[in-house]
Amino acid sequence: MKLSHIDETGAAHMVDVADKDVTRRRAVATALITTRTDVIDMIAEAGLPKGDALPVARIAGVMGAKRTSDLIPLCHPLPLTGIDVDFELLEDGVRIIGAVKTVSKTGVEMEALTAVTVAALTIFDMIKAVDNRAVIGDVKVIEKSGGRSGDWTREP
């Protein structure tokens, strides 16, 4: 089996996408930060010691998606056409949903994953004064469209 990011000498390299078609591409990822119910109440009321966590985390997620190729060595820098970062407050956590779009030759799964992960890290930073035992997890791509491999949605 030939690996796409390994050359004939075994060295890692960035895949050449020059011959791929430019298509509309979208990826949606999610992450979950689990914390105490009282901390969720503080998040909902913008009552954390560091301030209102969700707007800060939204901007951090957007910035993270834009910097993905700086963080992941073999990712291509992409012209992102849209980034949405949203939150769902749960009884014991915050679900982060990141959707990223491009019109390009390669997909935006890594950008969506980076968006939700950076947003989760930011929420952790915002709540650590009241809960330094919060847990970040369940990071995954849940939807992808465009490109050669086609469209798919993760089954619940």
Q: Any idea which residue has 């990141």 for tokens?
A: 98
Known active-site residue 138: no
pLDDT band at 65 (very low <50, low <70, confident <90, very high): very high
Please report the pLDDT score of residue 6 as a whole number.
67
Contact criterion met (CB below 8 Å) for 100 and 27 = yes
Question: Rounded to the nearest 10 degrees, how much is the dihedral formed by the CA atoms of 67, 73, 79, 80?
Answer: -50
Please report the pLDDT score of residue 83 as a whole number.
98
Q: Is the pLDDT of residue 1 over 70?
A: no
Please report the pLDDT score of residue 18 as a whole number.
79
- Residue 31 and residue 78: Cα distance in Å, rounded? 22
Chain mean pLDDT for the chain: 93
More confident residue, 147 or 7: 147
Q: Is the pLDDT of residue 148 over 90?
A: no
Query: What is the SS3 assignment for 143?
Result: strand
Catalytic residue among 125, 131, 138, 151: 125
Q: How many C-beta atoms surround the C-beta of residue 49 within 10 A?
A: 10
Query: In DSSP terms, which residues pair with 91 in a beta bridge?
Result: none
pLDDT tens readout for residues 73-126: 889 999 999 999 999 999 999 999 999 999 998 989 999 999 999 999 999 999
- Residue 84 and residue 23: Cα distance in Å, rounded? 19
Range 53-61 average pLDDT: 98
Q: Which CATH superfamily, name and number, covers 23-147?
A: Molybdopterin cofactor biosynthesis C (MoaC) domain (3.30.70.640)
